[in-house]
Structure 1
Amino acid sequence: IYFGAKLHRPKIIAVGCLLMSFGTFLIAMPHFLIGSYKIETSVRPSVNSSNTLPPCSSGSTVAGCERDSSVSMWIYVFLGNVLRGIGETPVQPLGISYIDDYAQSENAALYIGCVQTISVIGPVFGYLLGSLCAKIYVDIGQTVTITPGDARWVGAWWLGYIIAGAITLMSAIPFWFLPKSLPMPLDKHDTSCTPEWILLSTDFVPALKSLLGNPVYILYLCVTIIQFNSLIGMVTYKPKYIEQHYGQSASKANFLMGMINIPAVALGMFTGGVAMKKYKLGIMGAAKFAFGTSLLGYFLSLFFLAMGCENSKVAGITVSYTGLSYQERSLFSDCNLGCLCSRREWDPVCGENGISYVSPCLAGCTSSTGSARNTVFGNCRCLALADAQPGNLTATPGQCPRRDSCDKIFPYFLALSVLSSFIISLGGTPGFVLLVRCIKPELKSLALGIHTLATRTLAGIPAPIYFGAIIDSTCLKWGYKTCGGRGACRIYNTSAYRWDIFKTLKHLKSALTNGSAELEALKKEESNSIHCEQFILALDRNPDRETHL
């Protein structure tokens, strides 16, 4: 970045766009190299009018174990992200420094605000594209028996990368035709003849020493690292939070993030730039403005704790088979002892009593009519335990919908989310202006490059990892792969989910300075999870029913 600032910046940005495009295409490659996605389900795709399930069967055919051949697919994803990271590096630092060098001082903040706003609008289209792809099954054209709201549904994730790669490739074209430099404004001095432009290698270390010795820059860097940890954690897992906590589909969660939340962030950044231009805020004014908006946004986020929903009713996990809440989880009951059900499968059905069951077998169902999504399981004995006046004891595929009370809270959650996002993002543009104004003009590109590197390394990489680890600690039911090993989480403890995320955001600063204790706690949780998984697998392999129970 430092040497790139002295070369042809637009063409370096164009090369970065080409690398990002190639890396994006590389990430989508695994879809074309592996076979079709297989769903474990008890619902038959055939069109038979009726069928009687054996009383001692799980109601599904166990697929054979097929080990992956050839190279692991994660390598393609890893290399693609590496190329995208390399290509993305020069875009923002060189672009913002290019604008700041050749724009008048009073207009620079507005221009940077426009660029920041457009960079936030990009994720809007990303979320909308993700919403569209999430509605399409991963293997386009294949008929499946589950809906997009099912935890086993996998959308056409690869399609979004193909489209994004093509757009990134086209965006590289205009940068090739931009000049190396523009006419210098009258209120700025040309620094092209300073000693920093003469020696490219011998002045790097002194420049870096001068930059790292700037206390304002170092303080701003530390603050933005903390803010980016919470921001990236929110952007990464907020759709998942909406999906799990409020019972929305992945497609709708992405749509809402793209149409409601992200535009509020873009509007906040643009408004912050307009406010700086109108009130002519200096460095101290920008710092106070950014601090005040961040603090107000944090206090508003505390109200999210009052907007929770109860866990969905799943027999043997969140409620007992009699419909009462309880702490001890047991998937087996007197109503399904006559069936050799597996505790590892996740094929939920919704009973007419409003309680979900992990599978038709664990619901005690012995018959079914219809086919595919229109299947109705009958004579489900476990439904009688939770209903004083049982009816037909039938169940349908999929989890039961959330309560009406949860649907009433959801709009208030969205409104508060938009308001807090707007207020916090007001300080985005003043913060960037503070960054470029507190350092020497010839060090702007290097300062922005180190800022980008620090936020990507200390926030972009660890935040999704420890946020994901904390979220996984609230999982109530794990899925399992065909050949063994833990798969994706099927249902979370939403109350613990909400509190754990809040505690992470609240103690984020202390977690960064005292990371060793936090990591040890996460290691213990992971170790306990592994031991529990091994114990469950041992129980499944034991044919003795008494020992199994």
Structure 2
Amino acid sequence: MTVEGSPDRFTETRPMEYSGQNQTTTQAKCCSPSLKVFIGLLAFCFFTKSLTGAYTKSTISQIERRFEIPSSTVGIIDGSFEMGNLLVITVVSYFGAKFHRPKIIGAGVLLMGIGTLIMALPHFIMSRYMYDTAAAHTNDPANFTMSSTFSSDTQNTVQQLVSGCLKGEVESSPTWVIVLFGNILRGIGEAGIGPLGMSFIDDYARPGNSAFYIGCLHTFGVIGPIFGYSLGSLCASLYVDIGLVDQESVTITPQDSRWVGAWWLGYVVSGLLTLLAALPLWFLPRALPENPQTSKAYHPSNEHKHTLSITEIAKDFWPSIKHLLTNRIYLLYLVSSVLAFNAFAITITYTPKYLEQQFGQSASKTNFLIGVISIPAVALGMFVSGWIMKRFKLGLLGSARLVFFTSVTSLVCIIPYFALSCENIDVAGVTVPYQRSIELQDISCDLLNSCNADCGCPDFLWDPVCGQNGVTYISPCHAGCNSSWGTRQNMTFHGCTCIQSWGLTSGNSSAVLGQCPRESSCTKMFYIYLALQSLAFFVYCLGTVPFFLISLRIVDPVLKSLSVGILLLVLRVFGGIPAPICFGALIDMTCLKWGQNKCGGRGACRMYDIETFRYLFLGLVSSLQAFSYTLLWIFTTQIKRKVQNDEQMSKDIELQYPVLCDTEQENYVK
């Protein structure tokens, strides 16, 4: 997103070339064939890196369940990309232009592809995914079976889990670290793609076409998430051990909190695509000598001059930093950007998880609808934003006002979110008591009741069944069932004493596998939420182009590139890294029922308090945006005052030195 180079480049005239009788000008050419190839390859790189980034966001809940880790740990994995990026972005952006830029970009894309493939590696070194279920005890393929769910079976299950842990059958090492390491490599590889790629285009393209080409790159960067979320939807609908287990033997559905899709498959696909994008970049030239500007820039006679300019830049680095950080308007811009980016990071990371928990939707359906509804709204908003800037030729004050208006309007669109909510499902001992007449006092102490006290039910089990009373029980054992009929997903449990204690007759005391369904209104609210979210994204993105240009216009012209670099650095340090981690820890606080890994440690959360989750998610995002927009309003007033002062100063100078102003105007026109 940085634009390297001085403003003089946009006013510099380029020489004309003559060849015999055929007179041609380099200015008449759109760009050289090599530059066209480079732009096409770089656009494909932008597409693959944004595809992988969106796919990573779509697999958050799948990774959490597969590795039995809390949301805070998943936040660390998500933020590791920014960590890797910060390690090298300054070095690559500052010194990368001195070397072979296409090869450096190719090496970075190659590293991204390797890191993406490494993220899929744990699937191939871990054992098959196992989940606790009463249906696993029923291996008879006949249509009718009967088995006991009381203490003998459950005690055997506990003994098998403990013995398996002692024998080392279950991985004791945190293999999720491999996913984190691969994501760090992705961040390191991505560091030079944007700065070096856009500076290369700006060096060799016509001034009028440079901005167009860079806009096309960002367009491909927005198209990538559409395919990323669609790929995430497809992989989430497939069972994690696809090809290794009989799909009919899987007793859980994608709506189940234990379901893990083929999260690794998308990393293999995107990793191979990224490697494919990296290889051709190695065969591009370092420079394009057919361009006169390029020949002049890289002429050997200018090598010493270029070295001196680098030295001078190095000497002026810290004074330039100090000059920027003492600019009050720029500081307001930084703080407001950090608050807004924190809200953005939380939204883009945890929206799929929020929709799954709040509306009871599967990860596959959620990812697909985000990809085909919300992401296109973002792309359209960015396109219209650029058109508005070009059509109305907005200045600094007009850009600030547009950003403030679109930001406040998008915040208003969030308010209806609070009314779009579903209630927690009734889970005995967790959200409702085992008997109607008894109030739920202590959730942690009510998992066992007189109706299942003799069953020996372990607390870590999560194999929900839906009783005929409309209440979900965390396992057939906790429902007090003593027999089962059928096989696999068609199993029903009978003689459930806890269901009878609800007040039902003995003939109505059965249960079926799976949680009880949510109310039908949840699905309608899910679609309404997506529609409002798309509207909010569109309105907010109307201010993206002016928001970026403001960072170039509120500083001295020689500090434009540095101001953008500091902006990106501050956003990553104070937004991209801490936001997913801290909010993941807050999400963990809303968990009502934790799972347990095979060795007795705390695993992934099976059920959240969606009321608390909703107010925490929406409240924190809207609060961060509100604080950001308050600073943005102060920032806009400061911009207005600055513009008025500049205009008044220009008028005073014109009144005092009218002849000098006319001379300067004539020179400017010439």
Q: TM-score range by the shorter chain?
A: 0.7 to 0.9
- Give the one of 256, 270, 295 matched to 1:150: 256
Match of 1:39, SS state, is coil
Shift in Å, 1:210:
1.6
- Distance change >3 Å, CA 105–CA 297, structure 1 → 2: farther
1:281 aligns to what?
Answer: 394
8 A Cα contact 1:13 1:175, kept in partner: yes
8 A Cα contact 1:21 1:169, kept in partner: yes
Match of 2:267, SS state, is helix
2:581 aligns to what?
Answer: 465
8 A Cα contact 2:151 2:456, kept in partner: yes
- Give the one of 221, 230, 240 matched to 2:343: 230
Residue ranges of structure 2 left out of the alignment (5+ in a row): 1-92, 629-670
Residue 16 in 1 paired to residue 108 in 2?
A: yes
1:119 aligns to what?
Answer: 221
2:308 aligns to what?
Answer: 198
- Distance change >3 Å, CA 100–CA 111, structure 1 → 2: same
1:308 aligns to what?
Answer: 421
Aligned-partner Cα distance in 2 for 1:238–1:475: 17
- Distance change >3 Å, CA 245–CA 151, structure 1 → 2: same
Match of 2:454, SS state, is coil
1:401 aligns to what?
Answer: 517
Aligned-partner Cα distance in 2 for 1:323–1:102: 76
8 A Cα contact 1:89 1:449, kept in partner: no
1:345-389: per-residue Cα shift (whole Å, max 9, x none)? 111011122211100011111000111111111111222233556
1:53-93: per-residue Cα shift (whole Å, max 9, x none)? 05434657232343456864244223212211111111223
- Give the one of 38, 46, 51 matched to 2:146: 51
1:378-435: per-residue Cα shift (whole Å, max 9, x none)? 1112222335566432111111111012222222111111100111111122222333
Identity of aligned residues (%): 46
- Equivalences for 1:379-418 in 2 at 5 Å? 379-388=495-504, 391-418=507-534
8 A Cα contact 2:252 2:489, kept in partner: yes
Residue 262 in 1 paired to residue 357 in 2?
A: no
Match of 2:241, SS state, is coil
- Distance change >3 Å, CA 201–CA 366, structure 1 → 2: farther
- Distance change >3 Å, CA 212–CA 367, structure 1 → 2: farther
Match of 2:512, SS state, is strand
- Give the one of 26, 42, 46 matched to 2:134: 42
1:472-500: per-residue Cα shift (whole Å, max 9, x none)? 11110000111011100001111100111
Query: What's the TM-score, normalizing by structure 2?
Result: 0.70
Rg comparison, structure with higher value: 2
Match of 1:148, SS state, is coil
- Distance change >3 Å, CA 336–CA 40, structure 1 → 2: same
1:538 aligns to what?
Answer: none
Q: CA RMSD in A?
A: 3.1
Query: What's the TM-score, normalizing by structure 1?
Result: 0.84
Match of 1:335, SS state, is coil
1:478 aligns to what?
Answer: 594
Match of 2:317, SS state, is helix
Aligned-partner Cα distance in 2 for 1:190–1:430: 31
- Give the one of 364, 382, 385 matched to 1:251: 364
Paired AA for residue 56 in structure 1: S
Aligned-partner Cα distance in 2 for 1:510–1:14: 41
8 A Cα contact 2:134 2:149, kept in partner: no
Residue 168 in 1 paired to residue 262 in 2?
A: no
Shift in Å, 1:132:
1.0
- Distance change >3 Å, CA 209–CA 287, structure 1 → 2: farther
8 A Cα contact 1:117 1:267, kept in partner: no
8 A Cα contact 1:90 1:449, kept in partner: no
Shift in Å, 1:316:
1.1
Paired AA for residue 228 in structure 1: F
Aligned-partner Cα distance in 2 for 1:58–1:240: 34
Higher helix share: 2
Which of 429-438 and 292-301 deviates more? 429-438
- Equivalences for 1:497-516 in 2 at 5 Å? 497-508=613-624
Residue 220 in 1 paired to residue 330 in 2?
A: no
8 A Cα contact 1:217 1:438, kept in partner: yes
2:230 aligns to what?
Answer: 128
Shift in Å, 1:13:
2.0
Aligned-partner Cα distance in 1 for 2:278–2:529: 39
Match of 2:130, SS state, is coil
1:234-254: per-residue Cα shift (whole Å, max 9, x none)? 111111111011000111111
8 A Cα contact 1:477 1:492, kept in partner: yes
- Equivalences for 1:277-426 in 2 at 5 Å? 277-322=390-435, 326=440, 328-329=442-443, 330-388=446-504, 391-426=507-542
- Distance change >3 Å, CA 72–CA 383, structure 1 → 2: closer
- Distance change >3 Å, CA 23–CA 444, structure 1 → 2: farther
Match of 2:146, SS state, is strand
Aligned-partner Cα distance in 1 for 2:229–2:322: 37
Paired AA for residue 541 in structure 2: S
Which of 394-403 and 456-465 deviates more? 456-465
Paired AA for residue 232 in structure 1: A
8 A Cα contact 1:58 1:339, kept in partner: no
1:544 aligns to what?
Answer: none
8 A Cα contact 1:370 1:376, kept in partner: yes
8 A Cα contact 1:103 1:185, kept in partner: no
- Distance change >3 Å, CA 61–CA 70, structure 1 → 2: closer
1:156-208: per-residue Cα shift (whole Å, max 9, x none)? 1111111111111122245443764699899xx98997977634355225135
Paired AA for residue 535 in structure 2: L
1:101-150: per-residue Cα shift (whole Å, max 9, x none)? 56666666554443333212212211111111111111112132211111
Aligned-partner Cα distance in 2 for 1:463–1:336: 43
Match of 2:135, SS state, is coil
Which of 391-400 and 7-16 deviates more? 7-16
Residue ranges of structure 1 left out of the alignment (5+ in a row): 513-549
Residue 28 in 1 paired to residue 92 in 2?
A: no
